[in-house]
Structure 1
């Protein structure tokens, strides 16, 4: 039942976004009573839970606010300079739903949830340093490998420039201190390498996505911005800075399925380069067939890896640690050599993060 999926989405954001929680609970009640929300969601009644129809609904409304077309509702949205007043939020949403019902329905039906959270670059940055250090150690090199970074499910590609981000770690700034994107990494502990004396060199970057977002366009920027919960201002500002960085350092994202794309990208190992396959919070959206094919493609490439042309898999994904609990873990595998490590765990948006290196089994 669609109303139940709205309530599921509301539960996800209860602690972190009172505005989105209130909006979705009210919309679920309106759906049950056959109100205007039923008209807006017409055609989506049989959507799978994994498509998160409630968050698509909230994102479509947020987009109208960001476009300046719902000023009364915008008064509740911190992302537009407002302050939430939860008791009257739904009352002010109803006229917007009524006026824009057809447009909202079309937008909800044609879009997918994409947060492309740039905060995940913080654990990626530490993970890449760890991978280059361990690969060099295994090859008997005195200097780390340079990196070719391949991201599956890259969305707008905002996490394809980890070397261009500034990371605040305690009193230290790592990465690029002149970057427009400054992340307070929120690290507990440190990666098992000396970051202060190691330079991350990227010699190639590429990404693919089934629904790539062109972040050089206003439409692409609005699309990603709309899916940030509007009362999470630090996240919203972080995204805007990441979008600004993307304009300065463009990396196109190709429209393609991950397994087929990786076949081409991994066809030829590159000497003196560590090739890193990376993905974050996309595994849950992949079909069983794509997961199996992806594993096979990676296994084939791993068999061709050599000490001087190594391959790594670095992922930040939720893993079930309890029947009703997940933990977002940073996981690293390295070939050849069989390195398999869990580097740490953190919040789903990558910040904060706790480093605790142990075997990945």
Structure 2
């Protein structure tokens, strides 16, 4: 039932975004009553949970606000300079739904949720420092390998620039100290590598089934609309990452992950560490594509050599046995060195993060 999927989405943001939670709870009630939300969501009645129809609904409304086309509603949205009043929020949502119902329905039907959270560059940066260090040790090199970074499910490619960000750690700027994009990674512990090393990315590429062109205003608005509107810190972080992308463009190809990866990994590259990276993608991937991706990676791992090493670095939710059924973990495999590490865990957006290296089995 569509109203239940809205309530599922509301629960996911409870405690993180009071505005989005209140919006989706009210919309679920309106759906159950057959109100205007049912008209806006017409055609989505059989959507599966993984398509997150509630967040697509919230994103479509947020985009109208960002475009300046819903001024009364904007008064509730901090990303537009407003201040939420949860008691009157739904009263101001209803006229927008009636006025823009057909447009909203078309937008919701044609879009997918893409957050492309640049905060995940913080654990990525530490993971790359660790991978280059361990690969150099395994190869007996005195200097670290430069990196070829390949991202599957890259969305707009905002995490393909980890070396161009300033990371504020204990009052020191790591990475690119002169960058206009600065992150406080809020680390507990440290990666098992020298972070003063100059991380070199010599080649970068990404693929996505629905890539976002972040050099366009449409692409920028698309990603901004999926930030929960009362999380201004995330919104500002995204805008900084979008500005950096304008200065350092990295196109993302429209392609399925396994086929694209097979092409990229067809031949090992000597004197370069090839790193396959993805974050919060696995849950949206079909079992068939997962199996194919594993086979492609295993084939490439068999061709890796100490001077042409291969790494898998992922930041994905994994089931746990604790109070929280899922934990976002940073995992590293390195071939042919045989390294397999769980480097640590953190929040879904990559910040904060706790480094706690241990074997990954």
TM-score normalised over the length of structure 1: 0.99
Asked if the contact 1:206–1:251 (Cα under 8 Å) also holds between the matched residues in 2, the reply is: yes
Instruction: List 4+ stretches of structure 1 deviating above 6 A.
Output: none
1:65-214 residue pairs with structure 2 within 5 A?
Answer: 65-196=65-196, 198-214=197-213
In structure 2, distance between residues paired with 1:322 and 1:211: 34
In structure 2, distance between residues paired with 1:59 and 1:178: 33
3-state SS of the aligned residue for 1:329?
strand
In structure 2, distance between residues paired with 1:325 and 1:149: 31
Structure 1 residue runs without a partner (length 5+)? none
Deviation of 1:338 after TM superposition, in Å, equals 1.2
Asked if the contact 1:180–1:242 (Cα under 8 Å) also holds between the matched residues in 2, the reply is: no
Deviation of 1:322 after TM superposition, in Å, equals 2.9
In structure 2, distance between residues paired with 1:148 and 1:278: 10
3-state SS of the aligned residue for 2:68?
coil
Structure 2 residue runs without a partner (length 5+)? none
Deviation of 1:170 after TM superposition, in Å, equals 1.3
3-state SS of the aligned residue for 1:87?
coil
Asked if the contact 1:221–1:243 (Cα under 8 Å) also holds between the matched residues in 2, the reply is: yes
In structure 2, distance between residues paired with 1:170 and 1:54: 39
Match of 1:259 in 2: 258
Deviation of 1:78 after TM superposition, in Å, equals 0.2
Match of 1:337 in 2: 337
In structure 1, distance between residues paired with 2:147 and 2:233: 30
Deviations 1:72-121 (A, max 9, x none): 00000000000000000000000000000000000000000000000000
Deviation of 1:337 after TM superposition, in Å, equals 1.9
Match of 1:320 in 2: 319
Match of 2:267 in 1: 268
Deviations 1:199-238 (A, max 9, x none): 1011100000000000000000000000000000000000
Match of 1:216 in 2: 215
